[in-house]
Chains A and B, each alone.
Chain A
Amino acid sequence: MIASMLRAGAVLALPFLAAGSAQAFELKAPPKIAFIYATTVKDGGWNEAIDQGREALADELHTKIAVAENIPEDATSLRNAIDLYVKRGYNIIVGTTYGYSEAMAEAAKAYPDVAFFNASGVNNSDNMESFYARTYQAWYLAGMAAGDMSKTGKVGILAGFPVGVVNWDLNGFARGVQAAKPDAQTIAVFTNSWWDPVKEGQVAEAILDQGADELATNLSAASALNAAEKRPAGAIGYQLDMSAAAPKQIITSVVFHWDKYLVPRIKEVIAGTWKPEPYGWFEGLSSGVVGLAPWGPNVPESTKEKVAAAEKQIIDGDLKVYAGPVLRQDGTEVVPAGKVLPEEDLWTMDYFVKGVIGTMPKTQ
């Protein structure tokens, strides 16, 4: 699930394992689709966002899609589930976590006539494609809104563990904050857990106590937003539109729209035109898989306009979130002016950018 999906970044020195030939994949039988989840789909976060994509896909194709939940991220459990589905004639199988990567790649080798997809995975082959979104682009926009609205010049964000795909969100957010207010600071705190609404609420308060007047969560518990609502401080959610948790104070949420990827992709598979991306599918705002939820009631028009302008620039490719100069927290240079952070360095990001208050645990 999300835990291991995010661990991806920590392990990932090389981003995606490449596939070989450029032959389009063809199904040998009528399409039958199954989704496999590591946790319940009703998690109010990562899995539920993917499941919404699955529902949209089912509506679009007028078909039923099988769902298996709580399949642990070990090779045996996943392989059993895949074997059962394949035996029953399923030939499009979608996994939803980094932890499935290796076992699913093995299965893809064993069943060359079955199309495999894995969200936040790392393996790709002639019949398997991993997919993830450039979430840091949406976080940059969220940061701009928070920075623009902040009066204290301090905003906060809480997150799970310090791994690449989390760190790029935090740093993207901080750079967005600075784009709106150059001297604003971003307080970043790791909870060191993925599933702890009690802690997330308490950590949110710790951040607000340090003077932040806008608060974002990179996790999915409503309690953090609830703390902001009570303070009151502006609130930004993640994965799904979390406005229900802070109806007055919500600014926006960084949300996934996996249907934007799944629907056209699975249609390609069915049409026989699908060629798996050799390094996995990895797109951002322009694809629509990640973006911002509708604005909250307190967001001024001027903020909305600024963010909309930046969004257009990112989509057009005129604005790169990690374009130099990028400085580390201590002022050392990561990317010089005029250069852009190389793609593979995204996955191994293990530092905070300048302007972040927080502790990045040392990995070595």
Chain B
Amino acid sequence: MSGFLLSWAATVPDYAAPLLIAALGLVICEKAGVLNLAPEGVMAVGAMTGALVVMGGQGPWTGLAVGALAGMALSLCFGLAVVVFRADQTLTGLATVAAGLGLSGLFGRDAVQKPFTGLPRFGETGWGADLPRLLGQQNAVIVLALVLMVAVGLWLGRSRAGLRLRAVGEDPAAADVAGVNVQRVQLLAIAASGLLGGLAGAYLSVVSAQVWVEGMIAGRGWIVVALVIFAGWRPGMVLVGALLFGGAEALMPRLQAVGVAFPVYIGAMLPYALTLVVFVVAMLRQRGADVAPAALGRVFLRQDRH
């Protein structure tokens, strides 16, 4: 039993890390008032680019970095449409998903199912061979994700720039009057979310699977969207949510492997059902309005300022 729990616990961070990274990006973006449904597409581009770079002979860190930049590039296209041209954020987000999936399929066409050597786990490196399993199963990006979480939390909550960003998400008109460049803040927030979304995607191909397949994000981008709502746009809660979602996903196959009769379809539904419950509870307690950035999804036009 303890062996079962230990091996399960050791794998949870690998499930949770990409969700955490992408969700942190999304928190930044949505705290600035931009409703962003694009993660699935952004992560797809990040995964494909990261894999191609590593297959091209570069190291895994280069792959992760270039994957992150590719995610940012796609995210900026989204930003251009919604911030500069004021397109509808929901529709543009969905279009960005389609574009991301299509682009990754197009450029990754000849790279499908070709295994490569990605980022090693601590236990696979020379210095980490003797680490206990719980640590040896982890990798450097997981550590980076935790650092990012703390940094994003502090930056959003404690810094002047973070305050400005939140002001834009709560009341862009007021922020505008106070001298904040609303469009620039939103564009930067969208760029940051793309960077982290791309990194999360590249994590999946370069660290987790070490192979690329079209459509390999497999709905994780949507889980990220749900996760951010679940977490109430708070970085600390994003970690809790990522561990919960990742832990449940990691548990399912392990229960099957020991023959426990667990309803797998209910298990697969759990993250989404949980999000709905949290959402409904938040609304019932009339906290909903406080939890979500007040101007989320609203297009800010300066001439409409009241």
Residue positions of A touching B, CB distance < 8 A: 39-40, 42-45, 156, 158, 187-193, 195-203, 205-207, 209-210, 220-223, 225-226, 230, 244-245, 357-359, 361
Majority SS at the chain A contact face:
mixed
A245 touches which of B112, B211, B249 (Cβ 8 Å) = B211
Contact B257 A358 (CB under 8 A): yes
**Residue numbers in B under 8 Å from A203 (CB-CB):** 253
The verdict on A202 contacting B214 (CB below 8 Å), with A191-B253, A361-B263 known, is no
| B268 at the A interface (CB under 8 A) | yes
| A193 CA / B138 CA spacing, docked (Å) | 25
Q: Any chain A CB within 8 A of the CB of B275?
A: no
> CB < 8 Å: which of B7, B213, B259 contacts A197?
B213
Q: Which of B11, B110, B262 contacts A206 (CB 8 A)?
A: B11
Complex contacts, A357 vs chain B, CB 8 Å: 257-259
What residue in chain A is nearest B123 (Cβ atoms)?
A: A230
For window 253-267 of chain B, which residues contact chain A by CB distance below 8 Å?
253-265
What are the residues of chain A within 8 A of B268 when measuring CB–CB? 192
Bound form: Cα–Cα A40–B213 in Å: 11
Query: Are A245 and B208 also in contact (CB < 8 A) when A40-B214, A203-B253 are?
Result: no
A209 touches B254 (CB 8 A): yes
Within 8 Å of chain A (Cβ to Cβ): is B204? yes
Task: Return chain B residues, CB-CB under 8 Å to A230.
Answer: 124
Contact B208 A198 (CB under 8 A): yes
Interface residues of B (CB under 8 A from A): 3-4, 7, 11, 14-15, 105, 109-110, 112-115, 124, 204, 208-216, 218, 249-250, 252-265, 268
What's the Cα separation between A40 and B204 when bound, in Å? 21
Asked if residues A192 and B264 are in contact (CB atoms below 8 Å), the reply is yes
Closest to B15 in A: A202
Contacts of A222 in B (CB 8 A): 113-115, 210-211
Q: List 26 A-B contacts (CB under 8 A).
A: A40-B214, A42-B109, A43-B213, A44-B113, A45-B113, A187-B257, A190-B256, A190-B264, A195-B216, A197-B212, A197-B216, A198-B204, A198-B216, A198-B218, A199-B249, A199-B253, A200-B209, A210-B258, A220-B113, A221-B213, A222-B114, A223-B208, A223-B210, A223-B211, A359-B260, A359-B262
Query: 7 more A-B contacts (CB under 8 A) besides A40-B214, A206-B257, A230-B124?
Result: A43-B213, A195-B215, A206-B7, A221-B113, A222-B113, A359-B256, A359-B261
Contact of A40 among B105, B252, B254 (CB under 8 A): B105
Residues of A within 8 A of B216 (CB): 195-198
Residue of B nearest to A212 (CB): B257
Contact call A201/B209, Cβ cutoff below 8 A = yes
* Minimal Cβ-Cβ distance residue in B for A70: B105
Contacts of B253 in A (CB 8 A): 158, 189, 191, 199, 202-203, 206-207
User: What residues on B are CB-neighbors of A44 within 8 Å?
Assistant: 112-114, 213
Residues of A within 8 A of B115 (CB): 222-223, 225-226, 244-245
Contact A189 B209 (CB under 8 A): no
Contact A42 B110 (CB under 8 A): yes
Instruction: Choose from A226, A358, A361 the contact partner of B211 (Cβ within 8 Å).
Output: A226
Which 9 A-B pairs give the minimum distances between C-beta atoms?
A44-B113, A197-B209, A209-B7, A196-B218, A222-B115, A203-B253, A223-B209, A357-B259, A206-B253
- Docked Cα-Cα span, A201 to B121, in Å, equals 14
- Greatest chain A CB density within 10 A among B4, B14, B210, B211 is at B211
Name which residue of chain B comes closest to A196, CB basis: B218
A102 → chain B, closest Cβ, in Å? 25
Q: B238 to chain A: closest CB distance in Å?
A: 20
B289 to chain A, nearest CB (A): 37
A222 and B211 CA atoms in complex are apart in Å by: 7
CA gap between A361 and B269 in the complex, in Å: 14
Cα–Cα distance between A202 and B253 once the two chains are bound (Å): 9
- Chain A residues with Cβ under 8 A from B215's Cβ? 195
Q: Are B113 and A40 in contact (CB under 8 A)?
A: no
| Chain A proximity of B105: nearest CB distance (Å) | 6
Q: How far is the CA of A294 from the CA of B11 in the complex (A)?
A: 33
A206-B211 contact given A43-B112, A43-B113, A361-B263, CB 8 Å threshold:
no
**Which B residues touch A202, using CB under 8 A?**
11, 14-15, 208, 250, 253
Judging by beta carbons under 8 Å apart, are B11 and A358 in contact? Answer: no
Residue from A40, A158, A222 with most neighbouring chain B CB atoms (10 Å): A222
B145 CB to closest chain A CB (Å) equals 16
Assembly CA distance A199 to B11 (angstroms): 12
A96 to chain B, nearest CB (A): 16
How near does chain B come to A173, taking the closest CB pair, in angstroms? 15
Instruction: Tell me the complex Cα distance, A205–B123, Å.
Output: 15
Q: Complex formed: what's the CA distance from A226 to B115 in Å?
A: 8
Bound-state CA distance A253–B112 (Å) is 18
**Minimum Cβ distance to chain B for residue A43 (Å):** 6
B-chain residues with CB within 8 Å of residue A193 when the two chains form the complex: 218
- Given A220-B113, A359-B260, do A198 and B209 touch, yes or no (CB 8 Å)? yes
Most buried by A among B110, B218, B256, B260: B256
- Residue in A closest to B261 when the chains form the complex, CB atoms: A359
* Partner pick for B257 among A200, A210, A244, CB 8 A cutoff: A210
Select which of A39, A192, A201, A210 is within 8 A of B208 by beta carbon. A201
Q: How far is the CB of B131 from chain A (nearest CB, A)?
A: 15
Query: Shortest beta-carbon distance, B301 to chain A, in Å?
Result: 39
**Chain A nearest Cβ from B278, distance in angstroms:** 23
Q: Which residues of A contact B15 (CB under 8 A)?
A: 202
Contacting residues, chain B, for A158 (C-beta < 8 A): 253
CB distance from A86 to the nearest CB of B (A): 28
Q: Are B113 and A359 in contact (CB under 8 A)?
A: no
Q: How far is the CB of B20 from chain A (nearest CB, A)?
A: 15
Residues of B within 8 A of A359 (CB): 255-256, 259-262, 264
